[in-house]
Chains A and B, each alone.
Chain A
């Protein structure tokens, strides 16, 4: 049956929204509201919280920054002083105490008054400073009384057993040439030329970390 509504439009009853449209609209509204709710949560919730946390952490940082700066100042001052201390240590490491070395040589030569083993004396002593990879060089031309060449060997052995010898890199080989001086009693003496080259400063026993006693170096000769 065809139904025709003859009422003017303005007098007609409005048509009901269809259920489909209503449901769709409702769903759309819910979705949109949810979406905006989510946005509000993200913005005011998460982001807001993060901002507050950042503010708190910044306050905390501000409170420790001053102490950290104090630490930096102390660190800098310590480094300045340590630089000087290290310089002193560097110089000390490179310094050989010649009074100690010569005192030990004197003990070896005097040998507690025992002249049977060797009786030595010297023309002089000269020390040249370190150069290149070697340490200082010491030269002592001298004599051993008598014509028995083994006394020269005994003297060299005693030098090798002296404490300072652990810092010696090379020593001249033992040997001697007979000289006769009629104005002396006994007239015979064996002349020899004692030469020693010390190790570089970094290898000296006092500069080693263990500072322990090491076996004396074997004479390598020249």
Chain B
């Protein structure tokens, strides 16, 4: 073999080096490419992990929502059932008719139809025909609108009772004819699959009691409670009086108006008394007196109102509502206010009130107004019956002593005590001529009255345990 010269050797070395470096370089490039792919995969997996962690973070709130929704599903099923259950619906219709008092002539089913679009329910209709008064019709309609299952009153038509030309007699209501179309619904978007197993379900459900309850009540918000006639007249009856002679039992309209106006004026007076009784500036004695007056007046008013109602004096339909609202309900309101006020107060007088009563009685007794003192006590007597253990008992005892003194003074003042003359003795018993009789100190005039001492200008008596001075 020909020997290689240096240059050739150099070439070979260089070439080999280049080749090998190239291989290594390719290997590096390949390895880096692989590494990059791995890193891309890592990034993708991290993104997935982040997404999964974001979902995991939402699990507590989701569990909460699912538990609430699950516990309310029985309510959903009632409102929007999955089964048609039209037999039950018809039974409910019959029950409502009986409760409302309408006479149901017809309940005919219509065609079922899908709601269409993305809505997940079907509609089922029923056409009803029935007879009843306006109030029965209102109750019947309200029953359906408040029913636990969703029912929509799609259309209706009420034709007024025109069988009679005259107004219905008091106590009678007109019977109207009604046609009505009702619509109810069945849910078609049934849930597939079993419920998810939520760990510690019972405890979580117990903690969400209030939220579950709120969700349940929130779903039934769309309701109205019809509060019945409330003294209103039937608007489908001509309220005008028939022309011609007034019925023997009928009262002329002017007189009916006059009765209402008189009673309304009396109600206003009572309201004035009630307002004054609530004024914090007045004394307890005044308040007691006003409340007593109010109570008596309300009792009298109620007797008169019952008398008017029994005799049917207010027969004109529009006036009946006025009577109910402006007189009857107002009187009831005042009576309820009075009862509420009595119930909310302490049964007994407060310390301050007892002190005020004492001051009032003392002031009246000093002025010789025994009747005023007696009346002040009697107005508050019911609320002075405090138990012995009550700290106010001592003060009440003081009040009662004053009352006894007042009574004694009043009784004494009624006694006939005519003093014609006195004989005052420095050493011995003095005497006097009383009601034509000569009596001395220490002698009894009667069982309750003793002559204690006789002076030149006054005589001291002891009457029922109290010393009373009579001057002359």
Binding site for B on A (CB under 8 A): 18, 20-21, 24-25, 27-29, 31-32, 35-36, 38-39, 42-43, 46-47, 49-51, 53-54, 57-58, 60-61, 64-65, 67-68, 70-78, 80-85, 87-88, 90-92, 94-100, 102-103, 105-107, 109-110, 112-115, 119-129, 136, 142-143, 145, 181-187, 189, 206
Q: Specify which chain A residues have a CB less than 8 angstroms from the CB of B294 in the assembled complex.
A: none
| B35 engages A50 (CB within 8 Å) | yes
| A39 engages B27 (CB within 8 Å) | yes
Q: Can you list 23 pairs linking A and B with CB atoms under 8 Å apart?
A: A28-B17, A32-B17, A35-B20, A35-B24, A39-B24, A39-B25, A42-B32, A47-B34, A53-B42, A71-B56, A72-B55, A75-B62, A84-B189, A87-B119, A87-B187, A91-B152, A102-B141, A103-B226, A107-B232, A112-B326, A113-B320, A124-B158, A125-B158
With A42-B27, A185-B240 already in contact, the answer to whether A110 and B152 are too (CB < 8 A) is no
With A35-B20, A77-B196 already in contact, the answer to whether A64 and B222 are too (CB < 8 A) is no
Interface size class for chain B?
35 or more
Minimum CB–CB distance for A108 against chain B, Å: 9
Q: A29-B17, A123-B159 are in contact. List 13 more A-B contacts (CB 8 A).
A: A18-B6, A24-B14, A31-B21, A46-B31, A47-B34, A50-B36, A53-B38, A57-B46, A94-B152, A95-B150, A119-B318, A121-B238, A126-B156
Q: Does B98 contact A (CB under 8 A)?
A: no
Minimum CB–CB distance for B220 against chain A, Å: 10
Q: Per a CB cutoff under 8 Å, which of B10, B53, B58, B80 touches A84?
A: B80
| A95 engages B152 (CB within 8 Å) | yes
Q: Does B224 contact A (CB under 8 A)?
A: yes
The B28-86 residues at the A interface (CB cut-off 8 A) are 28, 31-32, 34-36, 38-39, 41-42, 45-46, 48-49, 51-53, 55-56, 58-59, 62-63, 65-66, 69-70, 73, 76, 79-80
| B39 engages A50 (CB within 8 Å) | yes
With A51-B38, A88-B219 already in contact, the answer to whether A38 and B53 are too (CB < 8 A) is no
| B196 engages A183 (CB within 8 Å) | no
Minimum CB–CB distance for B350 against chain A, Å: 41
| A64 engages B56 (CB within 8 Å) | yes
Q: Per a CB cutoff under 8 Å, which of A35, A67, A78, A96 touches B25?
A: A35
Q: Per a CB cutoff under 8 Å, which of A20, A42, A72, A77 touches B66?
A: A77
Q: Specify which chain B residues have a CB less than 8 angstroms from the CB of A87 in the assembled complex.
A: 80, 119-121, 187, 189
Q: Specify which chain B residues have a CB less than 8 angstroms from the CB of A38 in the assembled complex.
A: 24-25, 28
Minimum CB–CB distance for A156 against chain B, Å: 15
Give the CA-CA distance A23 to B283 in the complex, in Å. 127
Q: Does B348 contact A (CB under 8 A)?
A: no
Q: Specify which chain B residues have a CB less than 8 angstroms from the CB of A18 in the assembled complex.
A: 6
Minimum CB–CB distance for B397 against chain A, Å: 54
Binding site for A on B (CB under 8 A): 6, 9-10, 13-14, 16-17, 20-21, 23-25, 27-28, 31-32, 34-36, 38-39, 41-42, 45-46, 48-49, 51-53, 55-56, 58-59, 62-63, 65-66, 69-70, 73, 76, 79-80, 119-121, 138, 141-142, 145, 150, 152-160, 165, 176, 181, 185, 187, 189, 191-193, 195-196, 198, 219, 222-224, 226-227, 232-233, 235-243, 318-326
The 4 closest A-B pairs by CB, nearest first: A113-B322, A35-B24, A28-B17, A50-B38
Chain B residue at minimal CB-CB distance from A59: B45
| B157 engages A125 (CB within 8 Å) | yes
Q: Specify which chain B residues have a CB less than 8 angstroms from the CB of A50 in the assembled complex.
A: 34-36, 38-39, 42
Q: Per a CB cutoff under 8 Å, which of A29, A68, A70, A88 touches B196?
A: A70
Minimum CB–CB distance for A77 against chain B, Å: 5
Minimum CB–CB distance for B19 against chain A, Å: 9
With A50-B38, A78-B69, A83-B120 already in contact, the answer to whether A122 and B160 are too (CB < 8 A) is yes
Chain B residue at minimal CB-CB distance from A47: B35
Give the CA-CA distance A68 to B9 in the complex, in Å. 67
Minimum CB–CB distance for B328 against chain A, Å: 11
Determine which residue in B13, B157, B237, B325 has the highest number of CB atoms from chain A within 10 A of its CB, and name it: B13
| B145 engages A122 (CB within 8 Å) | no
Q: Specify which chain B residues have a CB less than 8 angstroms from the CB of A128 in the assembled complex.
A: 155
Q: Specify which chain B residues have a CB less than 8 angstroms from the CB of A186 in the assembled complex.
A: 240
Minimum CB–CB distance for A58 against chain B, Å: 6
Give the CA-CA distance A96 to B49 in the complex, in Å. 50
| A113 engages B150 (CB within 8 Å) | no
Q: Specify which chain B residues have a CB less than 8 angstroms from the CB of A84 in the assembled complex.
A: 73, 76, 80, 120, 187, 189, 191
| B14 engages A120 (CB within 8 Å) | no
Give the CA-CA distance A86 to B155 in the complex, in Å. 24
| A123 engages B31 (CB within 8 Å) | no
Give the CA-CA distance A124 to B66 in the complex, in Å. 49
Q: Specify which chain A residues have a CB less than 8 angstroms from the CB of B193 in the assembled complex.
A: 76-77
Give the CA-CA distance A81 to B226 in the complex, in Å. 32
| B21 engages A183 (CB within 8 Å) | no
Q: Specify which chain A residues have a CB less than 8 angstroms from the CB of B58 in the assembled complex.
A: 71
With A83-B189, A100-B224, A121-B235 already in contact, the answer to whether A21 and B13 are too (CB < 8 A) is yes
Q: Specify which chain A residues have a CB less than 8 angstroms from the CB of B62 in the assembled complex.
A: 71, 74-75, 78
Chain B residue at minimal CB-CB distance from A101: B224
Q: Per a CB cutoff under 8 Å, which of B31, B185, B326 touches A43?
A: B31
Give the CA-CA distance A109 to B317 in the complex, in Å. 12
Minimum CB–CB distance for A18 against chain B, Å: 6
Q: Specify which chain B residues have a CB less than 8 angstroms from the CB of A60 in the assembled complex.
A: 45, 49
Minimum CB–CB distance for B94 against chain A, Å: 19
Give the CA-CA distance A106 to B121 in the complex, in Å. 35
| B49 engages A25 (CB within 8 Å) | no
Q: Per a CB cutoff under 8 Å, which of B25, B42, B145, B325 touches A97?
A: B145
Give the CA-CA distance A145 to B73 in the complex, in Å. 54
| B232 engages A106 (CB within 8 Å) | yes
Determine which residue in B52, B138, B192, B320 has the highest number of CB atoms from chain A within 10 A of its CB, and name it: B52
Q: Specify which chain A residues have a CB less than 8 angstroms from the CB of B16 in the assembled complex.
A: 28, 32
Q: Specify which chain B residues have a CB less than 8 angstroms from the CB of A91 in the assembled complex.
A: 80, 121, 150, 152, 185
Minimum CB–CB distance for B470 against chain A, Å: 65
With A35-B24, A78-B62, A110-B321 already in contact, the answer to whether A71 and B17 are too (CB < 8 A) is no
Q: Specify which chain B residues have a CB less than 8 angstroms from the CB of A112 in the assembled complex.
A: 321-322, 325-326
Q: Specify which chain A residues have a CB less than 8 angstroms from the CB of B49 in the assembled complex.
A: 57, 60-61, 64
